[in-house]
Each structure stands twice: as structure tokens, then as C-alpha cells.
Amino acid sequence: MILAHMKLHEKKESGIHRVQEIPLEELDLSKEYEVEKTLGEGSFAKVLLATHRATRTRVVLKAVHQELTTEKDFFREFHYSYHLSPHPNILCSYAVAFKAEKCFVFAQEYAPYGDLAGNVRAGGLSEEACKRIASQLCSALDFIHSKQLAHRDIKLENVLVFALDMSKIKLCDFGCTRREGTLVNKIRCTWLPFQPPEICEIVKNERYACKRSADCWQFGIVLFVCLTGNPPWQTADLIQDPEYSAFQRWLKRRTTKVPPTFRRFTPRLLRYFRRTFEHKPEKRPHVTEINKYLKDSWCVNKISHSATSTLVDASEGIARRADSLLYLDTILDDQRNVDENKNKLRKLLNSYGLETTIDQKVVTKRIWEWVMQCDSNIAEPAFVGSLGTETIRSEYIEMVDGTQFGRAILPQNIRLYIRNDAVLPPPPRDAKFVISKLSGTVRVQIYTATTYTLLIM
């Protein structure tokens, strides 16, 4: 079981690309290990938490199904996992490999707090935690790339957590790792938002040369998800995904409007994302680019630390796993941005002595004065519309292109709202307007020199 004759203790850089295949010993898993539980299971492998009976060492066993993989692929993953594990931010793999229960098995260290997928809450992590993750993950990838290797499957599930404040994280899963330039097939199990555009464009059974620039892209996606709790788009396809298309238009400076999902970031971090999410892989920077931005502020609106940094259940002392990992209410986030901009503008106007306070009572009074004025000039209504138990009456006085115009009497117990909360003079008594009803809401559009929009709730 201990592969001494492979000389695995001699981790020489020159031999990292020479994967050796040797006969594996067949073992009875239950006799050698006490299996506590299954930590995870995928299409090709399962991960078990176990204790070695002889040494009482707690390890994680990765068991790859023999029917779904070849010995060559297994030895490649085991080889890279072991030879890269000296790095402090790469999961440690032990010199233990064997066959058991129709599986190829090798042993690794145990991560007590699971992976990032189980720790990133809705809304993301704090900026400080994200910077710690970025620094460590960047270091691990830089080490891998220095060996002329590409990881090819960087995602939240492959980043393991050893400290809840994210001061210790490690990269794992080298099943897809290849030497740069190797012809490979598209990884089917990778979550679509993590795939760079050059891989999204690959058709079935088409081979392509793997490059480290794809790791840079996936690293950027991981960082974005950690900051927001949500991927920036569903697929990096200019035609199929409008969010990605909007980002690329902004990246190429065809528009000055920052995409909604990126508006929470400072100009410095936006610059990093511009470079990292470059559509053409040859234009992307090295993964160490992030080191230039670690001392900068990243978020315009600081993510609530109390809402996002509590990752441990105090009663059980274990990390919580969100039922739904990735979602973010971007509408509420946009509203916060609008409110902050309004406050900044109000302060600026006040500094010049301009009054910006709106008296909502005056607005309501003017609306009702206009409504009551219309009452005296209305003849027998030609139209009666029903809204619940209330009645809306209107007289149509002309037809223009099939659209009916007129004046209306509105019940006083129906609330009226003016768009933008603006203080506007009451509309003239002969103002033309359109009444429309949609899903229980009546909309009144008044056509005058100043456009009014009244909503009857």
C-alpha cells in the first residue's frame, strides 16, 4: 500500500510530467479503514472520511470508479496531487494508493470546514475574507503554472476551507490537470458559468489545446462569486447570454454603462475584471495580476459583515451549508445604489442653498384638487371599469389611432402616486389621458406639456 518503490519522497520538478504506472495492491477497505461517512459523491468518484485502523490517522479517501476511468487517468491525478501537495495552499496527498471495491483509491488530508460552495452565503463573503481567498488561491495557481500545468477545473467545490475566517484554504482535485498545450476534450461536469468563452465555443468531440489563461478566467469567476454570492452570467456566450454580451460591450467601451452586477465594485476592481474577463484568452493577464489590487478597496457598498461572515452554527460548532448556494437580489442592490446617489445629490444641492425637500401632502392635495375639478365637468360616463369593489368612471371624448382619451372621476379611497415623487402643477381640466388596466393595476397616462403618470393601487 505504501508506494516506496515509486520514490515518491523525491519530489523532483524534472519528473513532474513523467507519470508512472505500477500495479496497485487490492485491499479490503473495511479491514484497513473505519469509514465514518461519505463527504461527497459525483459521476466518477466518491469521497469518504475514514480512520486508518493501524495508525488511527484520520484521512479522506478518494475512490474513483474503475468502470468510469482508466488506470492511466487515475495515476495522472494521483501523481499531480502528490507532487503538487508541498505547496501550503494545495491539498496534501499521501503516498497511499490501492484498489478496493471496484475503485481506485488514494488518501488525502481532511478539510474540517468543507469547500467554498458550502461557505459562501447569499450576498457573498466579506471583502477581507475574499482578499484572503484570492491571495492564497493565486499562490497555488502560480505554483501550478510554474510547472507548465493547467488545472482546468477551478470552482468553489475544489477550494477547501481549513479556517472559517478564510485564512487557510487549499486547492484540490487534479483529475483534469494537464500539461499546457495538451490536446483535451471539453470537461462536461464543470458548471457552465465557470467556463471561459473559448471553451464554451467548443463543439462536442472537438479537441483543443489547454492553456493557463482558462485558469485565470475561472479564478476571476470564483472571486466574483465569493464577493457577490452569484455568478456574473450563466454562460460566456455573446449571443445566448445578454448579461455577458452587456459586459463585453462595456469592456470594449461601446457603452459607459457599467453592467448591474458589477456596479458594487470600485474602479480598481473593475479594472481587474476588465482584464481578467477578456474574451480573447491571449489578452488575459497572468493569475498573479490580482496581487496588484489586494491593498485597494474593492466594494463601493460594503457587504454587511454580520449578514455574511457568520459561517458557524454555534449550537453544533460546524459550518453551515446554504440550501441554495448562489443567488443575489440585484434589484435591491440597484435600489441601494439609487438611494445613495440621491442622497449625494441632495447634499450637493443643499450646499448651494437649493431646497430639495418634497412635501408629499402638497403633492397629494394637488392631485385630489384636479380630480375633484374634473367631477363637475363630467357627463354621463361612456365607460365603467371595475377594480375590486371600487369603480372607475371615465368619459371618452375622442379617438386617436384607436386609443381612447378622456377625463376621469376616481374614488377618493384609491391612492394615487406620481412618478419620481416630483412636485408638479395640477394638470389642466381638459388634459387628455389614457386609462389602461393590467393585472389589477390601473395606469393613467396624462398628455400635457409635462408628462404625468398616475398609478391607482
Residues acting as catalytic residues: 153
CA distance 80 to 73: 11
CA 86 to chain centre: 31
Radius of gyration of the chain (CA): 31
Burial zone of 235 (CB within 10 Å; 0-12 exposed, 13-18 middle, 19+ buried): middle
CA distance 49 to 111: 10
CA distance 68 to 183: 20
Contacts of 391-397 with CB under 8 Å at 24 or more apart are 392/435, 392/442, 392/456, 394/435, 397/432
Planar angle of CA 43, 47, 50, nearest 5 degrees? 155
Cell of 202: 467548443
Cell of 278: 477578456
CA 78 to chain centre: 31
Contacts of 43-48 with CB under 8 Å at 24 or more apart are 43/68, 43/189, 44/68, 44/69, 44/175, 44/189, 45/103, 45/175, 46/103
Q: Cβ(124)–Cβ(229) under 8 Å?
A: yes
CA distance 106 to 103: 10
Q: Cβ(132)–Cβ(167) under 8 Å?
A: yes
> Is 62 annotated in some ligand binding site?
yes
What residues contact 92, with CB distance under 8 A and at least 6 apart? 85, 108, 109, 170
Binding residues: 62
Binding residues for ATP: 62
